[in-house]
Structure formats: C-alpha cells, structure tokens
Structure 1
C-alpha cells in the first residue's frame, strides 16, 4: 500500500486526485486550508475505499503552517506520491499589482512546491522509488497570453519538473501537468468569472487525462492537446535551438 500527499486537496483538481488515488488503493495525506472540507472528503473516501487518510490543515503561504507538511514528507513513514497541486491566480497587470499579493502568490505557486519537492525527494531517492506530480499550466508555454506573474510562476513549475527529471533518474518519476482552462474555484478566488472563458475542461476529465499520462510515465502531460506530435515538434525545436548554445563566438548577426 502506497501513500500519496496531495496539496490543495479540499476542492477542484486536488479533490479529484484524492478520489482517483483512493479508488486506486492509495492511502492519502490531504493538505489544504479548509479543515471542514478536508474532513468531509476524508470520511467519504474512508467509507468508499477503506483507505487510511490523514488530514493536515495548512496555509502553505505561512512558513509555520508549511513546516508540519515538510516534516511529514521527511518522516520515516514514506510518502510515495507527492501531488503539488495547491496554487492560486492573480488577476491584473504587473504594473498595478499589489506587491503583497505578488509575494503571497510566489510563496504558494513557487516556494511551497519547491520546498515540498525538496522534502519528499530525498526519501524517494534513498528508496529508489517515488513520484512527484507538479500541476503547472499551459500558460507556462504561452506567457504572453496572461498579464502579471501567474504565467511566470507556472513556467517555473514546468522548468523545475524538467530539471528534476533530468537530475533524478533512478526510480523516481517526475510529471508536470499543464492544464488549460479548467472548471475550478481558482477563477472565483482571484475575482474572475469562468463563464466568460470559452472551452473550459471539466476537472474530472483533466485529472483522468493527467493520470493516464502518469501511467504512461510522461514527463509533460498537456490534456487538451489532441496530437502528441505537436509537443514532440516543440521539444525537437528546443533541442535544435540548444545546439547553438555552445558556440564560443556571437552569431554573425550580432557582430559589428
């Protein structure tokens, strides 16, 4: 029996991951701010699947509340799957953004998943097994489609996933999931209106697709993209670009 720790587990993507992983027989550690929601979900899943479930109430932007979650990941009772799902959005442009709100978003979308992955990965490497699922966004690849720093935070999550996958290769699997518009509470919490967004994916479909990619051991899973050839071409173009990085002289177009 393996154990998965899921952040942002009280609703949306995190709650669906909890339901799907419990149905697969995984014990769970559920992390979020809303204790009542977590308890309700935990009771539902214990009754439905007979799995063991721990509940950790924590605001991951608060260092003191984050620490018990980090300790749980480092504990002798192993976490086999970390789902780094907790995240938020921030509407508005960069020039007018509230610095305090940007700081909070960076803590949640960048610092927290980094520290959580760091706390989990040592034990995974030592055991030679484990998985980290990082929820990013398609905006990581299209930052010009989003104002402010949200896309930049998700670009970081994607880059972190790619670099970890290259670094930790023996038995530890890293997956970055890049949702497009998905029907969750993130829009409402940021002050937006999801009804104005076209082609919104249902959260159950998103997680089912992401777990399909997980089972296939994909490094990057983009559920709405219909043809994997598009992603492969993107990666090939990135590799072609990288071939020029080792030149010791500037390209001819930059020379006087």
Structure 2
C-alpha cells in the first residue's frame, strides 16, 4: 500500500486513551495518516471520526486486544508489508500493581503478552521494511520503572526493563542508517493504567503527575532533537548522562575474565 502523504502513515497502539490518544491527536495535526490499534471499538470510532473531521487525514482502525495471539497476529499481518508506514509507536501497555504473589498468573502473563510480546512482534513487522527503505521511525514507550522496581511493580518493571534493553539493542543494530529509534521513559502520567493497575491517581503525589499532552509533547521534542532515550519529567540532564555513563562503565568493568578480588579472600 502506498500513500500520497509525504509524512506517511503512523501506527499507534493503545490509541483509545492516554498517551496513545494524545500521540494520535498530535500526529494527525502534523499531517500523518493514522492506523490506530486498541481494544475499545467505540472509543476508536469516535477518535477516528474526530481526527478525520479536524485534520482531513486518513484514519484506519484496528480493534484488537494485543494480549490475544490471534488479534496480535491480525495487526502484525496488516502492517507488515505496508510501505506507507513511516512511524510505529509501541504505546500499548497494561499493569497490575501488586506483589507478584498477590497477582494471578493470568494477570502476570497479560503484562508480558502486551508489554513485551506485542511490542516485539509489531516491531518485527515494520523494522525490516524500514531497513529496506533506509527510512522510518520507531518509538517504544518504556518507563522509569524499567530501571527501578517497587514492591508492587516487579512484573511491570520487569516488562519495562525488557523494553529498555530491547530498544537499546535495536538502536545499535540500525546505527549509521536513516532509521530513528527512540526510547521514552515516562514517570507518573495521567493515564488509565493506574486505575487498571489498582492504584488510583488520587492516591499519588499530585505534583508528580504529568498530563498526557505534556508527556507526548516532550517525547516528540526529544525525537526531534535526536535523543535516543527521552525522560519527559527529568529536568537535570546530568542525571541521565551519569546513569548512562555508569551503565557503560559497569559493563566494561565486567570484562575481566576473573573473579573479583573480594571473592578471593578465603
């Protein structure tokens, strides 16, 4: 499939609310055609109609629960050979915020299926085409909890840890090409994932909550400036740089081939 739109088509998962809905609005305003993926059909229909009317863009909806293998395969197949796609935003995510021993295996598996498997398979669907055309943008939505774990976030943090490392690896794979791959690590954002996860936004520090619009604006600004990893709410760039530096130093320091001296005392 081809398009006359110079910007091409953006695929946004989790598009019926929260960050996904905000991304869809911002991208439609820029002039992208859209393919929107979400579970809730009524919300998708309403959003698509609104964006078509306001911006005159083409919007295609895919009603899919990405935790279900059949739905995920349907979406992956639909976008796999679509040369009009220039941008994929892997935004869909789910969370249950509770100790792992208090979270059903089904809920834990759902987090893995949506936060990891769906993100990976949809990336696999578009990235070969990006590489063949030497053009395209991938944005993976991680989390600050990809580098930090709470007593109630072991599964969620684990899934976002995958997103962080997977995205970093992909960035290395496409280094030197015209393909952009961005990792976005939001902190507390005013989305429904908190209610779904069992921790209402009203229970959190209100001063620490960022609006979805601000988060998406920061993410797109970070993309425009060439950031590989965007932390929308971190004002001190030195913190980000120090974390990256420590990460590389720790890896480098592991390449000795010998046990550390502290293990050789006895």
TM-score by length of 2: 0.93
How do residues 158-177 of structure 1 correspond to structure 2 at under 5 angstroms?
158-169=164-175, 170-177=177-184
Match of 1:181 among 178, 185, 188: 188
How do residues 9-28 of structure 1 correspond to structure 2 at under 5 angstroms?
9-28=15-34
Q: Distance in 2 between matches of 1:6 and 1:66?
A: 14
Q: CA deviation at 1:147?
A: 3.2
CA 1:227–1:4 in structure 2 vs 1: closer, same or farther (change >3 Å)? same
SS in 2 for 1:80: strand
Summarize deviations over 1:39-63 as a string: whole Å, max 9, x none.
Answer: 1111111111111111110000111
**69-78 or 129-138: bigger deviation:** 69-78
Summarize deviations over 1:135-169 as a string: whole Å, max 9, x none.
Answer: 11111111246433011111111111101001122
The aligned residue for residue 140 of structure 1 is 146
SS in 1 for 2:76: helix
How do residues 158-237 of structure 1 correspond to structure 2 at under 5 angstroms?
158-169=164-175, 170-198=177-205, 199-237=208-246
**134-143 or 5-14: bigger deviation:** 134-143
The aligned residue for residue 102 of structure 1 is 108
Q: CA deviation at 1:194?
A: 0.7
Q: Distance in 1 between matches of 2:220 and 2:82?
A: 27
**Count of aligned positions:** 256
Q: Distance in 2 between matches of 1:7 and 1:76?
A: 16
The aligned residue for residue 153 of structure 1 is 159
Native 8 Å contact 2:11 2:89 kept in 1:
yes
Q: Distance in 2 between matches of 1:61 and 1:239?
A: 34
Native 8 Å contact 1:97 1:148 kept in 2:
no
| Alignment of 1:121 onto 2:130 | no
SS in 1 for 2:242: helix
Q: Distance in 1 between matches of 2:103 and 2:150?
A: 17
The aligned residue for residue 77 of structure 2 is 71
User: What 5-or-longer segments of structure 2 have no aligned partner?
Assistant: 1-5
Q: Distance in 2 between matches of 1:227 and 1:251?
A: 34
User: What 5-or-longer segments of structure 1 have no aligned partner?
Assistant: none
Summarize deviations over 1:154-198 as a string: whole Å, max 9, x none.
Answer: 111111110100112211111111111111111112232111111
SS in 1 for 2:145: helix
Native 8 Å contact 2:44 2:61 kept in 1:
yes
**142-151 or 83-92: bigger deviation:** 142-151
